[in-house]
Amino acid sequence: MAVIGAILGDILGSQYEFTRPEDLDWRNVPLISGLPIGFTDDTVMTLAVKKAFVEGKDLVETMVEVGRKYPDCGYGGSFYRWIMGPIHEPYNSWGNGSAMRTAYIGEAFEDYETMQKTAADVASVSHNHPEGIKGAVVTSTCIWMAKHGRSKEEIFDYVLKEYPVSDYEYSIGYSLEEMRPRYEWDVSCQGSVPAAMRCFYESTDYESFIRNVFSLPCDSDTLGAIAGGVAEEFYHGFGNVDADRILQEYLNDELMAILMM
């Protein structure tokens, strides 16, 4: 289930969002390092989106209802005001928040065009900048492609078309080896989505995907959430990563109940 892959990526990535050592041995470090770890706004909003669709409720009202229960989960400043304030209008954001919350759309919608339109609609309630919308659509589409048996090369070609090397500093066309020396922490869709998909592209299983995320000095919980659903769908699970134990340990009862809907 792509939503589980996204949430697991969020939790595991949260360790290094702000406290990543410069000399991190990302190939060998324990997946749970002893640093602070837990779900973030990525998980909260991913599950709010799922709850809205499963229960047939208004998306914005559900995002606000669920989101206000977790005021300290890591919202960016503008989105915090969107959640907590009285006005819930889109604010032309290109932030990666639109991409990190869309896993359920790629997982749940079978029709390709409907999936892409729904992903755009889910983004647009807050992140209506073209790059914010694109980030959500690309993320949902990669999940959809992985679920429907598309190859890594097909997924790569799709993302490269959307984020060509000529126009994007962290295009999927750059290898991780090329990115690592120059990647800088980036909260934009255009700086997060193609890099996250490169972490998936160079992986061999879910664990190696997460380790690729660890290898970049990045918004690691969000890159984990963005491509975690793709990795889960493509590899049909988590291999040696004990996803059930991690979810049971770090999700509360309310969020787990939404996840299991």
Phi first, then psi, for residue 226 (nearest 5°) are -65, -50
Look at residue 9 in the predicted model and tell me its pLDDT.
98
Look at residue 74 and tell me if it is in a domain.
no
> Does 112 fall in a domain?
yes
Domains in the chain: how many in total?
A: 1
160 within domain boundaries:
yes
**CB of 59 closer than 8 Å to CB of 52:** yes
At residue 70, the pLDDT reads 98
Question: What percentage of the chain reaches a pLDDT higher than 90?
Answer: 98
Q: Please report the sign of the dihedral spanned by the C-alpha atoms of residue 13, residue 88, residue 68, residue 63.
A: negative
Mean pLDDT, the chain, rounded, equals 97
The phi and psi torsions of 152 (rounded to 5 degrees) equal: -60, -40
* Residue 68 within a domain: no
Rounded to whole angstroms, the Cα distance separating 235 from 245 reads 19
Question: Tens digit of pLDDT for each residue in 161-207?
Answer: 999 999 999 999 999 999 999 999 999 999 999 999 999 999 999 99
Q: What is the pLDDT of residues 44-93, one digit of tens each?
A: 999 999 999 999 999 999 999 999 999 999 999 999 999 999 999 999 99
Task: Convert the pLDDT of each residue in 199-234 to its tens digit.
Answer: 999 999 999 999 999 999 999 999 999 999 999 999
Q: What is the pLDDT of residues 29-45, one digit of tens each?
A: 999 999 999 999 999 99
Strand partners for 188: 95
Query: Looking at the predicted structure, is the pLDDT value of residue 19 above 90?
Result: no
Residue 72 lies in a domain: no
**Does residue 165 sit within a domain?**
yes
- Residue 168 CB neighbours (<10 A): 19
pLDDT at 116 (0 to 100)? 98
Could you tell me the sign of the dihedral formed by the alpha carbons of 208, 211, 215, 220, in that order?
A: positive
- Residue 201: which domain range? 2-40+91-259
Q: What single string gives the DSSP state of each residue in the chain?
A: -HHHHHHHHHHHHGGGTTT--TT--TTTS-SS-SS-----HHHHHHHHHHHHHHHT--HHHHHHHHHTT-TTS---HHHHHHHHSS--------BTHHHHT-HHHHHH--SHHHHHHHHHHHHHTT--SHHHHHHHHHHHHHHHHHHTT--HHHHHHHHHHHS-TTT-TT-TTS-HHHHTTT-----BHHHHHHHHHHHHHT-SSHHHHHHHHHTSSS-HHHHHHHHHHHHHHHHTS-TTS-HHHHHHHHS-HHHHHHHT-
Residue 225 placed within a domain? yes
Residue 79 in domain: no
- CATH number, domain with residue 163: 1.10.4080.10
